[in-house]
Amino acid sequence: MVALPEAIDRFIEHLRSERYLSPHTLTNYRRDLHRLAASCPDTTSLEKIDPLAIRTQLAALHRSGLSGTSLQRWLSALRTFFNFAIQNGWVKYNPANGIKAPKSPRKLPKTLDVDAVGQLMDSQGTSWIDVRDRAMIELIYSSGLRLSELTNVDIQSIDLHDASIEVTGKGNKTRVLPVGTQAITAIRTWLKVRNELAKEGEAALFVSQRGSRLSNRSVQMRLAELGVRQGSNQRLHPHMLRHSFASHILESSGDLRAVQELLGHANLSTTQVYTHLDFQHLASVYDKAHPRAAGKPPKPKE
């Protein structure tokens, strides 16, 4: 018999040591499982948690205002946890299977259009911080990097001659991405400054004034400040540039699979949510591609 708190600890350690999930993801799993533990009056045994207990907690979370997406993630965490419990012989079945969360309306990600991205790049000044920020923005938009992928990039990870970069994404998976010409130029300019700032032995591509690796929070604050300086009516953040990268590539190519690979998504459905095509573009593609769409419709006979 395994108590729920002990089972949670062993599950989290499994995710950390064997699946190499990020600290942020581990925190989310632990929070979701603690929500389950808080709702169970008896945590002495996993076998006492049945579908009714999970449905009751699901309804309570829904009433508290938790979104459908968050509830789906909660149920997914529970299913993964109980599958682990089955593998260890702690329970005989998964009580979270077959339980569905209420759906939330799907929201399209906010993006910048091509002109807005160009204005953002051109608005940079000439100080060392401006040079660094422009290189970061160019790289995120050029290669569609996640925030953590950007801050974890080391100098040896980028090949300026081959115009490529190797990044480590979710699940500790690495992928090699192309880097655009303008991003390469901005990074070359930054490297001249960076070499004077970085501490001895520091491997990070982007460093702070102290010469150490730049934090995620610092990047977020810098982009938010740039958005305000530019007079944007919406908060500028790194993920918006990643969204814009994906949207612009997809609109130009129509190749969803290629965008999936570039973004490092395990499932194509994630890419479909992540990007969007406006109707005018779809209509244009349809008119050019469909064999019976071309030409003007015949006039009705009088």
Q: Model confidence over 3-53: pLDDT tens digits?
A: 888 999 999 999 999 988 888 889 999 999 988 888 776 666 788 888 988
Distance between CA atoms of 207 and 105, rounded to whole angstroms? Answer: 40
Catalytic residue among 194, 213, 222, 242: 242
Q: Is 79 a catalytic residue?
A: no
More confident residue, 302 or 265: 265
Q: Is 146 a catalytic residue?
A: yes
Q: How many CB atoms lie within 10 A of CB 188?
A: 11
Catalytic residue among 146, 222, 243, 248: 146
Distance between CA atoms of 105 and 284, rounded to whole angstroms? Answer: 27
Residue 132 Cα to chain centre, angstroms: 23
Distance between CA atoms of 162 and 18, rounded to whole angstroms? Answer: 33
Among 64, 62, 46, residue whose Cα is nearest residue 100 = 62
Distance between CA atoms of 278 and 111, rounded to whole angstroms? Answer: 12
Q: What would the two tokens of residue 139 be? A: 């790289």
Mean pLDDT rounded to a whole number for the chain: 84
Q: Classify burial at 207, counting beta carbons within 10 Å of its beta carbon; exposed 0-12, middle 13-18, buried 19 or more.
A: buried
Q: Model confidence over 51-98: pLDDT tens digits?
A: 988 998 898 888 888 888 889 999 999 999 999 999 999 999 999 999
Catalytic residue among 29, 141, 222, 274: 274
Task: Give the pLDDT band (50/70/90) at residue 251.
Answer: confident
Catalytic residue among 14, 30, 239, 281: 239
Distance between CA atoms of 84 and 229, rounded to whole angstroms? Answer: 49
Catalytic residue among 10, 14, 30, 170: 170
Strand pairing class (164-168; 174-178): antiparallel
Among 32, 44, 116, residue whose Cα is nearest residue 69 = 32
pLDDT reading at 150 higher than 60: yes
Backbone φ and ψ for 168, nearest 5 degrees, come out as -110, 120
Backbone φ and ψ for 265, nearest 5 degrees, come out as -85, 135
Q: Model confidence over 172-226: pLDDT tens digits?
A: 888 899 999 999 999 999 999 998 999 999 999 999 999 999 999 999 999 998 8
Q: Is 274 a catalytic residue?
A: yes
Distance between CA atoms of 99 and 101, rounded to whole angstroms? Answer: 7
SS3 302: coil
